[in-house]
Amino acid sequence: MPEVAQSIARIITSHRVFKDHENIIAAVAVFPDGCWMVTGSCDKTLRLWDLKDGVVLKKMEGHSYKVAAVAVSRDGRMIASGDANGELIAWHGDTCKSLTQAIKVHSGLISSLDFSSDGTVLATGSYDKTTELWSTKTWRVEGNPINCGEHVNCVRFSSSGELLAIATNSNIKIWNPRTRECMTEFKAAINGGHNVSLAWTPSGARLLSAGNSDDPTIREWDTSTWKQVGDPWSGHANHINALAVNSTGTHIASVSSDASMRLWRLSDQRAIAIFKASTNMYCAAFSVDGKYILCGGMDHNITEWAVPEYVGLEDTSKEQASDDSLPMDAPEGQVTNKARRNSHTKVLSINTTVRDACLTRDLYSAEEMLTQQIDADGNDYNSYANRSFVMSRKLEWDHALHDAVRSISVHPSLTGYTCKGIALCGKMYFKEAMKAFDLAFMFTEGDSNTIHVLLLVKAIALFNANRPKEAMMRIEDLAEACPNADTLACDVVKAYLLVQMGINASNDARYSEAADHFTAAISTGVLSSKWEIHSQYEVFVVLFGWDLKSLWETGNQNRCDALLHAGRLAEAHEAYRHMMDMSDEATKATCLDWSTAFKQKFSALYDTSGVADLAMSGDAALAASAYDRAIELYSAAIDLDYATDTIFSNRCKAKLEKKLWDEALIDAQKVTELNSSSYLGYELKHVALHGGQRYDEAIEAFEIMVSKLDDAQDTPTQTLVHQRYITRSEAEGAFQRIIDAQMENTPPRLINTSTGYLCGRDTQINVFKTSTEYKELLSLTMKHANILSERIQDVVLAFFQYTMLSHRWQGQEPLLHDVQGKNVYELNPVDGIAKLQSFCQVARDAGYNWAWSDTCC
């Protein structure tokens, strides 16, 4: 396969950031007209955004718990949101006013929402192990819930609406939502992994699924056979929290708890771009035109990333053939690459053999071939101009100027005056050089792309003549003055020159200044280890001998070294970690010698700074509650290959103190991998999961921890188990005793104000035991056996508290047989039924889970 097909753009600079939420953003959806975006957050609100101006149009309030899922109907007329308490709110798509109050139908977190293609049905998936289908006309649940047997992590309708895909922890189920028939189910994630996210292609021919940290891969499924297509798509290192497909179905975006987003090409299942964020990403959506990807995450912001225009290209010959076959009225985006190449060709008119020699730095052969052409035809002005370029690269300025003048005397041309300007800059004749470049513009035929390239060549020539400030100012002015031109070319040139400025400063021992130059170069986002800017901008490679292929490695390695020499150790470590995180395995292999040497120097400098033992210094910082410093020191030890389960566990503790739940969870998982027999990793995992409000998983981790302690050989450790912790059954027993006492004073039947159904005591208890409140306190009670029964009693009392209808009997009041097995909200609102419905709604809005009426309960 050609090398370009394997290229991966690595991008660290976002296009835009939307700031207004006050907590983690868990969900994002773009309206079909492309003008608006809606987001849901753990701050319990939604925000409606104007995508053009980046401003908040409306803050949508109504949830009492963290918003976990958001969906927009395909006509943009409806919004649905679900929260951590299993409550749903429907909103008007135009006004963003609520169409319903918070409706509690699920007993656990609503993890996912999706509208059918015609907008008549909404599917909701929940951690209560069910999927519900709602009528969007009445906002009532239709039929019985789909019992999935496990946590439901994602629900997605096919584009036709004929199929509903449901991802649970262990399998994927495909349902016919009309007949309520399960068409098929199959396992996707392996190694004990869970299925976290799903996405259909617009045609419905493919379904994509993604897994959690135990199997962080994407799998492609043929929907005609439900067989996996090809191998899993690997690359992520942690939970893949969401998948998004662009409108044409050609590319897929995946966001992960490894703080990255990947852009994949469906046709060959390859990652073509990696977007590196500062924090974990939880949700993603493409803009309608596919030019941007919008992601939300831990930093409370929505980050908009530009889809790279030049990544994932086919090999140059294929692309050239494709461009040449374009019609005259082809869309602007299709002709961009061809126009760029043509503009480069105008500046640099050179045959393939000579060009290849220049690209491989075989200047002797290039000069020899051009000399032979000149000897064969003394009026070959192109060969004179091209030899002038070669002589300039060899720093033979007099010869270069002689050839340029000879070329112009035979036939004035764009190439001739360009090579004359470069030669005169080399001789430091700046006024004459500027005149030559000015004359070159006369031969551009007014083509804006050619002018753009020529202005960049002029700036580079000035930079090479030791006038860096003027050169950089010209490039910045060009980018501002021509916003619709090839801005990538400006960024590439700017990045390369910044790297050169950094190298020059390092050579003069101005290491701090050098580090800033390298950082600025990397921040342009174009220094990719695999991005084919080399072939896109080879005019600069031929004219000036630039090495664009290894520019990413050069910039990052030199930044690490400069920061190290400047004594900025924390930044040096962060830069090194960034480089390793962004590198694929092939890049890491090529950088191995440098990496080894860097770590040795880094360790030595820590020694001289008084930190002889990173782990011990980290321990001291942790003991002093200096958590950021502890994380820094432990991270340095890990990156210097001193990692042990103890270091990971201590870094995890520091992150837990900072409430960095997801990051701490990764460290806790590493502890369990390095020392599978130890209980500590599972104890830390429990704390991280509990803090992240993933209570079912937290309880599971705690039970594993207790089993590890029980298996311990030493008696003191086993004693520790029974002194500090209690088992799940013991904790459940403590709850049950208090529940039983509560039930003695509770009517045998109550109406669930969320579902509208009459419930007996067993059902009431079951609803409580699947609630977030119960799971949270159960997880806490197992860890802290000394939790007072009063606290448990308060939670039980608050949940089972009910309100009674005090009323005068009027007309026909509903009796037991009228409401038993029925949803009171769906009954015909006549006589006493309307009164009962109103009472239940008022009770629900007042925070009561249960209601009692003397006529029917």
CATH number, domain of 671, equals: 1.25.40.10
Instruction: Give yes or no: residues 135 and 247 share one domain.
Output: yes
* Confidence check: pLDDT of 776 > 60: yes
pLDDT at 277: 86
* Confidence check: pLDDT of 561 > 90: yes
Lowest mean pLDDT segment, chosen from 96-100, 458-462, 531-535: 531-535
CA nearest neighbour of 836 among 760, 758, 783: 758
pLDDT, average across residues 428-444: 92
Whether 116 is in a domain gets the answer: yes
pLDDT band at 612 (very low <50, low <70, confident <90, very high): low
CA atoms within 13 A on the CB side of 536: 25
Lowest mean pLDDT segment, chosen from 47-61, 127-141, 266-280, 379-393: 266-280
pLDDT at 155: 97
Q: Convert 183-198 to b/e letters by CB count within 10 Å (16 or more is b).
A: eeeeebbeeebbbbbb
* Confidence check: pLDDT of 36 > 50: yes
The residue among 364 and 450 whose pLDDT is bigger is: 364
Pairwise CA distance, residues 221 & 211, whole Å: 14
Number of Cβ within 10 Å of residue 636's Cβ equals: 26
CATH number, domain of 135, equals: 2.130.10.10
Pairwise CA distance, residues 291 & 478, whole Å: 23
pLDDT band at 715 (very low <50, low <70, confident <90, very high): low
State which of 151-160, 351-360, 566-575, 729-738 shows the largest mean pLDDT: 151-160
* Confidence check: pLDDT of 284 > 90: yes
pLDDT band at 310 (very low <50, low <70, confident <90, very high): very low
Considering 724, 747, 765, which residue would you say is the last residue of a domain?
724
Supply 779's token pair: 């997880």
pLDDT at 341: 45
* Confidence check: pLDDT of 469 > 90: yes
pLDDT band at 534 (very low <50, low <70, confident <90, very high): low
Instruction: Give yes or no: residues 712 and 811 share one domain.
Output: no
pLDDT at 322: 36
pLDDT, average across residues 241-263: 92
pLDDT in tens, 155-166: 999 988 899 999
Axis-axis angle for helices 695-710, 680-691 (nearest 10): 160
pLDDT at 349: 76
Considering 468, 498, 515, which residue would you say is the last residue of a domain?
468
Number of domains making up the chain: 4
Whether 237 is in a domain gets the answer: yes
Instruction: Give yes or no: residues 679 and 735 share one domain.
Output: no
Beta strands 9-11; 270-276: pairing state: parallel
pLDDT, average across residues 217-235: 91
Pairwise CA distance, residues 376 & 357, whole Å: 20
Whether 597 is in a domain gets the answer: no
* Residue 394, C-beta contacts closer than 8 angstroms, at least 6 positions apart: 363, 367
Q: Average model confidence (pLDDT) for the chain?
A: 85
Instruction: Give yes or no: residues 683 and 732 share one domain.
Output: no
CA nearest neighbour of 335 among 344, 325, 345: 325
pLDDT band at 325 (very low <50, low <70, confident <90, very high): very low
pLDDT at 337: 44
Global pTM value: 0.49
Angstrom distances, CA of residue 266 to CA of 242, 355, 635, 715: 16, 35, 36, 56
The residue among 639 and 29 whose pLDDT is bigger is: 29
Percent of the chain's residues with pLDDT above 90 = 43
* Residue 593, C-beta contacts closer than 8 angstroms, at least 6 positions apart: none
pLDDT, average across residues 639-653: 85
pLDDT at 463: 94
Whether 572 is in a domain gets the answer: no
Supply 485's token pair: 């031109």
Segments forming the whole domain that contains residue 115: 3-316
Angstrom distances, CA of residue 512 to CA of 78, 551, 569: 54, 20, 12
CA nearest neighbour of 395 among 365, 427, 436, 432: 427
Stretch (H or E) spanning 178: none
Considering 468, 485, 504, which residue would you say is the last residue of a domain?
468
* Confidence check: pLDDT of 422 > 70: yes
- At 175, is the secondary structure helix, strand, or coil? strand
Instruction: Give yes or no: residues 308 and 343 share one domain.
Output: no
Pairwise CA distance, residues 708 & 718, whole Å: 10
pLDDT, average across residues 545-565: 91
Instruction: Give yes or no: residues 685 and 757 share one domain.
Output: no
Residue 743 φ then ψ, to 5°: -70, -20
pLDDT band at 603 (very low <50, low <70, confident <90, very high): confident
* Confidence check: pLDDT of 757 > 70: yes
Supply 511's token pair: 């290491």
Instruction: Give yes or no: residues 182 and 265 share one domain.
Output: yes
Classify burial at 609, counting beta carbons within 10 Å of its beta carbon; exposed 0-12, middle 13-18, buried 19 or more. exposed
* Confidence check: pLDDT of 253 > 50: yes
Pairwise CA distance, residues 238 & 281, whole Å: 11
* Confidence check: pLDDT of 67 > 90: yes
Whether 110 is in a domain gets the answer: yes
pLDDT at 462: 94
* Confidence check: pLDDT of 807 > 80: no
Supply 90's token pair: 């429907």
pLDDT at 311: 41
Whether 582 is in a domain gets the answer: no
Instruction: Give yes or no: residues 687 and 621 share one domain.
Output: yes
Whether 685 is in a domain gets the answer: yes
Supply 339's token pair: 């126009």
pLDDT, average across residues 292-298: 93
pLDDT in tens, 474-524: 988 888 776 555 577 888 899 999 999 999 999 999 999 999 999 999 887
Sign of torsion over alpha carbons 62, 64, 66, 70:
negative
Percent of the chain's residues with pLDDT above 70 = 89
The residue among 351 and 485 whose pLDDT is bigger is: 351
pLDDT, average across residues 198-214: 91
Instruction: Give yes or no: residues 127 and 207 share one domain.
Output: yes
Instruction: Give yes or no: residues 147 and 199 share one domain.
Output: yes
Sign of torsion over alpha carbons 638, 644, 649, 650:
negative
Supply 180's token pair: 């309520």
Instruction: Give yes or no: residues 344 and 374 share one domain.
Output: yes
pLDDT, average across residues 651-675: 90
List helix spans (H) across 711-756.
715-724, 728-743
pLDDT, average across residues 123-129: 94
CA 518 remoteness from chain centre:
25
pLDDT at 713: 64
pLDDT at 533: 58
* Confidence check: pLDDT of 326 > 50: no
Instruction: Give yes or no: residues 245 and 377 share one domain.
Output: no
Pairwise CA distance, residues 290 & 320, whole Å: 23
Pairwise CA distance, residues 803 & 753, whole Å: 10
pLDDT at 332: 37
Residues in a beta bridge with 152: 168
pLDDT at 528: 58
* Confidence check: pLDDT of 659 > 60: yes
Whether 518 is in a domain gets the answer: no
